[in-house]
A and B are shown apart, each in its own frame.
Chain A
Amino acid sequence: MALRASDLIVGQVFEQVVVDDLKRTQLVMYAGASGDFHPFHSDEVFAQAAGSPAGVFGHGMFTMAVTGRVLTDAVGDGRLVSYTARFVGQVWPGDTLIARATVVAVHRRAPDALVDLEIQTVNRAGDLVLAGSAVARAD
């Protein structure tokens, strides 16, 4: 999919549900795939004993990984120049996450263009869990 700068408008929003009713199984899959086996993210018994009475919660990098989908679906594969995220809220089993990327600037340069995106991921209650930014190449 070719991303064309001429198709992008400042203020345009790309939004999608990237996790629907997060299952503990998905956190286990992420632990296995990423190699981060911290028991806070998969071991309910440990988590409750170690200061998280509500149990396991998602890796910050899990939230960043699932949020990445709104970027790649919007700009296409292999077009990201940078992607930065701050982890501002915890993600719990049962959460639904909505990731939003907003076009904040389009910089034309020959022969292509750079697009600045602002990123926010919120849960169903509207609480911000991730705030970030990205830059992508456009034709």
Chain B
Amino acid sequence: MKTFRFPVEAGQILQFARAIGDPNPAYVDPESDAATNAGGVLAPPTFTQAADHYEPGYIRRPEPGTPWFGSGREPISATQGAFNAEGGSGFHAEQSFEYHRPVRPGQVLTVDVKAGRTWQKDGRRGGKLTFSEIVQEFRDEAGALVVTATFVGVTTERRVG
């Protein structure tokens, strides 16, 4: 589907570790015992989510020149983008990561985004549920697979919740 570059930066790992409330020095301090034991500073297990900052046109990020649907003068400023105004609604149902190599500051990862499987199930409240996977493959400069991340989204026929 698409490919983009994700430079892994120490400052972004620090902010991510702070946001998840994890004081593990292996994420921030190259001189810590924890980092030494881990072969150097590394990123927390779900850090590759931060690649969203680099994904072109990522729908959950305000972009200059594109209406953003968050509150401003009105509680909902636009009815487009990630806010689905067509009646149905979408959720992040499941996520999985396979770890092949550590993610470390200084790497410039290449992210290949591909569509995965799609399947349907009958739901109780929202009518038919459609599940679909989006697979992100993160590779290092040598082309070696570092992390495989699979997003499973579900959309409902009728708006719920």
Q: Which chain A residues have a beta carbon within 8 Å of chain B's beta carbons?
A: 1, 18-19, 26, 29-30, 32-39, 43, 45-46, 48-52, 59-62, 64-66, 68-69, 71-73, 76-78, 80-87
Q: Which chain B residues have a beta carbon within 8 Å of chain A's beta carbons?
A: 12, 15-16, 18-22, 24, 26, 34, 37-39, 42, 44-46, 49-53, 55, 58, 60-62, 69-71, 75-76, 82-83, 91-99, 102, 159, 161
**Which single member of A38, A49, A60 contacts B95 (CB below 8 Å)?**
A60
Q: Which residues of A contact B16 (CB under 8 A)?
A: 33-34, 65
Q: Which residues of B contact A30 (CB under 8 A)?
A: 19-20
Let me know if B76 and A46 touch, CB within 8 A. yes
Q: Name A62's closest neighbour in chain B (CB-CB).
A: B20
Q: Name B96's closest neighbour in chain A (CB-CB).
A: A84
**Which single member of B24, B62, B83 contacts A77 (CB below 8 Å)?**
B24
Q: Which residues of B contact A33 (CB under 8 A)?
A: 12, 15-16, 18-20, 50
Q: If A30-B19, A49-B76, A81-B98 touch, does A43 touch B70 (CB 8 Å cutoff)?
A: yes
Whole-angstrom distance from the CB of A43 to the nearest CB of chain B? 5
Q: How far is the CA of A80 from the CA of B98 in the complex (A)?
A: 8
Q: Which residues of B contact A50 (CB under 8 A)?
A: 75-76, 83
Q: Which residues of A contact B44 (CB under 8 A)?
A: 65, 68-69, 72
Let me know if B94 and A46 touch, CB within 8 A. no
Let me know if A35 and B15 touch, CB within 8 A. no
Let me know if A37 and B61 touch, CB within 8 A. yes
**Which single member of A19, A43, A69, A85 contacts B96 (CB below 8 Å)?**
A85
Let me know if A35 and B52 touch, CB within 8 A. yes
Let me know if B102 and A78 touch, CB within 8 A. yes
* Seed contacts A39-B70, A72-B45; 12 additional CB < 8 Å A-B pairs: A19-B21, A34-B49, A35-B61, A43-B70, A61-B46, A65-B44, A65-B46, A66-B20, A68-B20, A71-B45, A77-B42, A84-B96
Q: Which residues of A contact B45 (CB under 8 A)?
A: 65, 68, 71-72, 80, 83
Q: Name A85's closest neighbour in chain B (CB-CB).
A: B95
Q: If A50-B76, A68-B44, A86-B94 touch, does A35 touch B69 (CB 8 Å cutoff)?
A: no
Q: Name A18's closest neighbour in chain B (CB-CB).
A: B21
Q: Which residues of A contact B53 (CB under 8 A)?
A: 35
Q: Which residues of B contact A87 (CB under 8 A)?
A: 91-95
Q: If A19-B21, A37-B61 touch, does A86 touch B49 (CB 8 Å cutoff)?
A: no
Q: How far is the CA of A60 from the CA of B62 in the complex (A)?
A: 20
Q: List 16 A-B contacts (CB under 8 A).
A: A1-B34, A34-B52, A35-B49, A37-B60, A37-B70, A45-B75, A51-B159, A61-B46, A64-B46, A65-B19, A68-B46, A69-B20, A69-B22, A76-B37, A77-B34, A78-B42
Which 3 pairs between the two chains have the least Cβ-Cβ distance? A49-B75, A35-B52, A39-B70
Let me know if B93 and A86 touch, CB within 8 A. yes
